[in-house]
Amino acid sequence: MKAEDLSVSSRVQLSGVAQLQPRATDNCQISIVEPQRVVSIRHLPDRENAVRKVLAHENAPQVPTAGQFEGNDPFLLWRSPTEYLLITSSDKVADDCLAALPAAQNVLAYAVDLSAGYLVVELQGKGIADVLPRLLDASAIPQKPGRCTRARLAEIAVIAVRLADDRVWLVADQANDRYLLHWVSYAVQATAPRP
């Protein structure tokens, strides 16, 4: 693999993922989106308003509806009726959200930093329409920008986020980084146009 095929951070390089060397094709580019902060925001079923107030005060995106996300760095992804993931490249946004919803002090709604435990892989290009069905069940592929779905990718949990028609993020547990990238690499190479 050439260095330009996969952009990686020092955290990913330390885990050895950079050595997997998934190759981009003319139809689909693969990159690891770094640096990213991932904050889980959770609340009791009847306490969504507490989260809404904090998000408004922090100028963060508002609570998305089921199967959707809001914003553009920071992104707020729907994960369940009582949990959202805030994904941002800004330490300040993540830290402010964590400070506003401290887990130890607030039992109605709280935020937990999961940054060290998540990996965000981006697929971009016109070929993702062919790549995604090799990775996800057809019913789990978000079809329109602004949509996200929880899905299984080769027996690991991912959140597929459709940022644009030709751009998708796969958000997964960092512990599965090698396995995930092997599957993504396989799918991209299997769908690459043959000369």
The dihedral region occupied by 155, where left means phi > 0, alpha psi between -120 and 50, and beta the remainder, is: left
Give the pLDDT confidence score for residue 45 in this predicted structure.
Answer: 84
The domain locations on the chain are 3-32+117-190, 37-113
Give the pLDDT confidence score for residue 106 in this predicted structure.
Answer: 63
**pLDDT tier at 21 (50, 70, 90 boundaries)?**
very low
List the CATH code of the domain at 37-113: 3.30.70.1520
Q: Who's near 87: CB < 8 A, 6+ residues apart?
A: 36, 37, 38, 73, 74, 75, 76, 77, 120, 171
The CA distance from 121 to 175, in Å, is: 14
Cβ contact 86:39 at 8 Å: yes
Hey, which CATH number is domain 3-32+117-190, 3.30.590.10, 3.30.420.10, 3.10.20.90, 3.30.1360.120? 3.30.1360.120
pLDDT higher than threshold 70 for residue 54: yes
Cβ contact 172:123 at 8 Å: no
* Average pLDDT, rounded, for the chain: 84
CA distances from 172 to 16, 60, 99, 193 (A): 17, 22, 25, 28
pLDDT higher than threshold 60 for residue 119: yes
Torsion angle, CA of 10/12/15/16, rounded to 10 degrees?
-100
**pLDDT tier at 14 (50, 70, 90 boundaries)?**
very low
User: Mean pLDDT over residues 118-138, rounded?
Assistant: 93
Please give the DSSP secondary-structure letter assigned to residue 45: T
- Our measurement of the distance from residue 40's CA atom to the centroid of its chain's CA atoms, rounded to an integer in Å, reads 12
Give the pLDDT confidence score for residue 55 in this predicted structure.
Answer: 85
User: Mean pLDDT over residues 57-65, rounded?
Assistant: 85
Residue 4 in tokens? 């330009």
